Amino acid sequence: MTKVLRERDSMTCRACGNEERASEGYPCADCGTFICLPCNLRGVLRCRSCAERLEKSGGEKAAGVESTVPTPTPVARPES
């Protein structure tokens, strides 16, 4: 048996669409589908559909958006 099982080992990453080695990939954090290693290294933990779904539903955290907290009045004021 000198057959190279290259086809068998490659899977399409559901985040970037590239074909990468299945043995080096990671499952999507939500649905368990294949996420390739380069994506995982970039911090991609979910496939595209899961990431979109998460974004639409509000997401775990809205990056860059800080909650609008009313500026608190300083309590400790030097009184002269």
DSSP class of residue 22 equals: G
Minimum gap (Å) between residue 24 Cβ and Zn ion: 11
User: 31-70: which residues touch Zn ion (CB under 5 A)?
Assistant: 31, 33, 36, 39, 47, 50
Using rule CB under 5 A, residue 13 touches Zn ion? yes
Q: 7-25 b/e with 16+ CB inside 10 Å = b?
A: eeebbebbbeeeebeeeeb
Q: What angle do CA 71, 72, 76 make, to 5 degrees?
A: 140
Using rule CB under 5 A, residue 22 touches Zn ion? no
Q: Which residues bind Zn ion (CB under 5 A)?
A: 13, 15-16, 28, 30-31, 33, 36, 39, 47, 50
